[in-house]
């Protein structure tokens, strides 16, 4: 993938020049999508000054700029639409958002939903630290989005970590006096949960109810990384029949879900997970080799071909899409209905 060509309409340096500390962030993405110093071509260095606070603030600014840059990539390069939620949010409300392709709701046979791990990164990123140290090819979701669009599939990129409005009041407090720092309230006290998106679980359920479930796509697939796997199983339990009837395949990557605990002994759901899910786990075995002896035996588990957690999504990219295509070709889906409640009187009548 030629990132230089893909990013020709975007300028990461322009974002940096408009930031709080442009002189300390002389970095840009090269044609391989790697973050490099514009003068020395060296990778990003955290220890810029002998001050952890200054370096940490610089790192936070870089992370914020990367979020802005990825959002622009999703909109301008991948041609995805940014959708603000909740749908009834006021024009000036600080709401959450997610991204989807133009035909995701009305004109695609297959819809792929990307669900990231938990962290301080936002939509379009598998991991912010991975982007900084390994490049866009490994840390961003753009290669997954591109491959799905090349298959003429619809795409939804969820934003499960965009949960609060940060008022940054602690910075105001610190500016008054360092001595008064102990009297400042913790950062958590200065955040406001976003409506209908106060947690990854709430965000995902809202997008399911108002968008995914309304899509005309006959085949819906999820690709979930880390905590995203737990969030998907939570959705499965919250909207069991809808999910089982609409989702045909789930690709889990180093998922933190726990089937036995989350499904609460629901054998029908457990059988569905066994049939419709596959997990790729960080392991030194060659890609797609079966992995045994796991504590959580709930669906077929294979190797990503790397022991590095941060590289698991990019390493399994080709294998995941091969799996989604093969599951799609099977074509037949069982229609699940709610099991009737068997009452004591009914059992007596049956015996009679």
Domain ranges of the chain: 1-77, 80-162+197-345+347-351
Asked whether the CA dihedral 179, 180, 185, 188 is positive or negative, the reply is negative
pLDDT in tens, the chain (352 residues): 666 566 566 778 778 877 666 567 889 999 899 999 989 999 998 877 777 788 888 888 899 999 999 999 999 999 999 999 999 888 888 899 999 999 899 989 999 999 999 999 999 999 999 999 999 999 999 999 999 999 999 999 999 999 998 776 335 334 433 333 333 334 445 789 999 999 999 999 999 999 999 999 999 999 999 999 999 999 999 999 999 999 999 999 999 999 989 998 899 999 999 999 999 999 999 999 999 755 555 899 999 999 999 999 999 999 999 999 999 876 556 677 765 444 444 444 444 3
Whether 187 contacts 170, CB under 8 Å: yes
What ranges in 164-226 are assigned the alpha helix state H?
Answer: 169-176, 200-210
Q: What is the CB-side half-sphere exposure of residue 323 using CA atoms within 13 A? A: 25
pTM of the complete model: 0.87
Whether 294 contacts 283, CB under 8 Å: no
* Cα gap 59→150, rounded to integer Å: 34
* Cα gap 156→101, rounded to integer Å: 7
What's the chain's length in residues? 352
* Cα gap 17→40, rounded to integer Å: 18
Angle at 275 between CA 271 and CA 276, to 5 degrees: 115
Domain 80-162+197-345+347-351 has CATH 3.30.300.30: no
- State the pLDDT at residue 143: 97
Tell me the backbone φ, ψ of residue 42, rounded to 5 degrees: -85, 155
* Cα gap 135→291, rounded to integer Å: 28
- State the pLDDT at residue 163: 95
What ranges in the chain are assigned the alpha helix state H?
Answer: 3-6, 12-17, 52-72, 128-134, 136-139, 142-150, 169-176, 200-210, 227-238, 240-246, 259-263, 267-276, 312-330, 344-351
- State the pLDDT at residue 191: 83
């Amino acid at each position: 993938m030629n990132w230089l060509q893909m990013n020709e309409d975007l300028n990461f340096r322009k974002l940096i020049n408009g930031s709080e500390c442009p002189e300390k962030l002389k970095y840009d993405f090269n044609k391989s999508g790697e973050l490099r110093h514009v003068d020395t071509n060296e990778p990003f260095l955290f220890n810029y000054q002998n001050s952890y606070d200054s370096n940490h603030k610089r790192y936070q600014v870089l992370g914020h700029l990367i979020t802005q840059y990825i959002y622009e990539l999703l909109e301008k390069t991948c041609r995805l639409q940014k959708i603000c939620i909740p749908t009834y949010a006021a024009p000036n409300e600080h709401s959450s958002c997610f991204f989807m392709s133009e035909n995701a709701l009305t004109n695609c046979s297959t819809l792929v939903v990307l669900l990231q791990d938990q962290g301080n990164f936002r939509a379009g990123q598998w991991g912010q630290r991975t982007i900084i140290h390994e490049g866009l090819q490994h840390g961003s979701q753009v290669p997954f989005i591109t491959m799905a669009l090349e298959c003429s599939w619809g795409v939804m990129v969820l934003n499960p970590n965009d949960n609060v409005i940060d008022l940054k009041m602690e910075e105001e407090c610190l500016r008054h006096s360092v001595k008064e720092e102990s009297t400042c309230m913790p950062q958590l006290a200065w955040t406001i949960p976003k409506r209908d998106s106060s947690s990854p679980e709430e965000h995902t359920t809202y997008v399911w109810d108002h968008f995914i479930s309304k899509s005309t796509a006959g085949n819906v697939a999820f690709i979930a990384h880390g905590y995203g796997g737990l969030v998907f199983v939570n959705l499965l339990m919250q909207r069991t029949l809808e999910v089982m009837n609409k989702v045909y395949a789930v690709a889990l990557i180093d998922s933190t879900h726990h089937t036995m605990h989350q499904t609460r002994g629901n054998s029908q759901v457990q059988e569905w997970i066994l049939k419709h899910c596959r997990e790729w786990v960080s392991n030194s075995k060659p890609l797609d080799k079966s992995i045994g002896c796991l504590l959580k035996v709930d669906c077929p588990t294979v190797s990503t071909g790397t022991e590095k957690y941060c590289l698991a999504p990019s390493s399994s990219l080709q294998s995941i899409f091969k799996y989604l295509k093969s599951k799609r070709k099977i074509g037949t889906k069982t229609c699940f209905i709610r099991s009737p409640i068997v009452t004591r009187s009914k059992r007596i009548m049956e015996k009679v």
